[in-house]
Amino acid sequence: QKEVEQNSGPLSVPEGAIASLNCTYSDRGSQSFFWYRQYSGKSPELIMFIYSNGDKEDGRFTAQLNKASQYVSLLIRDSQPSDSATYLCAALIQGAQKLVFGQGTRLTINP
Amino acid sequence: EPEVTQTPSHQVTQMGQEVILRCVPISNHLYFYWYRQILGQKVEFLVSFYNNEISEKSEIFDDQFSVERPDGSNFTLKIRSTKLEDSAMYFCASSEDYRLETQYFGPGTRLLVL
């Protein structure tokens, strides 16, 4: 069973601080990883994808991938109250046409 | 910006009834997917579809489920005889390619089976 694991939280971060979200995956063959943001009752909204080891930055967001440790993370700098949401980590399973999602981490940014 | 659309946004049905959920994927995308999310649980893969065929399906996608691309734009999910446990949010997604490409999600259909 190919799994993606996330700490469900809640993770509470003060406004302006860095929020750090983590994810591990079991399928060593997975090549691509995605971070989606999901507001309550809404659909997943893509934030970033990463498929190379190392860091990838996009504005206030940085995704990090370590394939040796099977670990993916998302850093949100200068956190805003509007960043309060559930963050979903997903892995594209090698050779398969599907995403496997973690259970999501609920993030709250406190003003 | 192109987006995936889904109708209806909400559907209430009686147990045993058939429902059809509709999706219009992004126009140049070739791969289509259905996922579902039971309240409070993970987003789960149901099925992927390419070139008018099912490419992959999960164990959830049993004989009660079917998918179809009836014309050049719509992609549908049919549940033949709904059960209480089919109550969930159903998301359609599409991508240009399945390998590295991002899957873009529609807004979802909230299905409630009574």
Burial of residue A28, with CB atoms counted within 10 A of its CB: 0-12 exposed, 13-18 middle, 19 or more buried: exposed
**CA geometry: angle B81, B31, A6, nearest 5 deg:** 80
Distance from CA of B90 to the nearest CA of A (A): 9
Q: Residue B112: is its pLDDT beyond 90?
A: yes
pLDDT tens digits for range B52-107: 999 999 999 999 999 999 887 899 999 999 999 999 999 999 998 766 578 999 99
Closest in A49, A96, A102 to B102, CB measured = A49
Phi, psi of B101 (to 5 degrees): -75, 145
Which range (A90-99, B21-30, B42-51) has the least confidence?
Answer: A90-99
pLDDT of residue B100: 59
Q: Do B44 and A101 touch (CB under 8 A)?
A: yes
Q: Do B108 and A42 touch (CB under 8 A)?
A: yes
Cβ contacts of A98 on chain B, cutoff 8 Å? 33, 45, 48, 56, 58
Cβ contacts of A92 on chain B, cutoff 8 Å? 98-100
When pLDDT is cut at 50, 70 and 90, the band that residue B28 belongs to is confident
Q: What is the mean pLDDT of chain B?
A: 93
Which residue of chain A has the CA closest to B30?
A97
Mutate to test the interface with B, among A5, A56, A98 (most CBs of B within 10 A): A98
Q: What is the pLDDT averaged over residues B6-35?
A: 96
Q: Do B106 and A36 touch (CB under 8 A)?
A: no
Alpha-carbon span B108 to B114, nearest angstrom = 19
The pairing of beta strand A61-66 with beta strand A54-58? antiparallel
Distance from CA of A78 to the nearest CA of B (A): 26
Q: Note the Cα A42 to chain centre separation in Å.
A: 17
Distance from CA of B23 to the nearest CA of A (A): 14
Burial of residue B17, with CB atoms counted within 10 A of its CB: 0-12 exposed, 13-18 middle, 19 or more buried: middle
For chain A, list residues with pLDDT below 50.
none
pLDDT of residue A27: 87
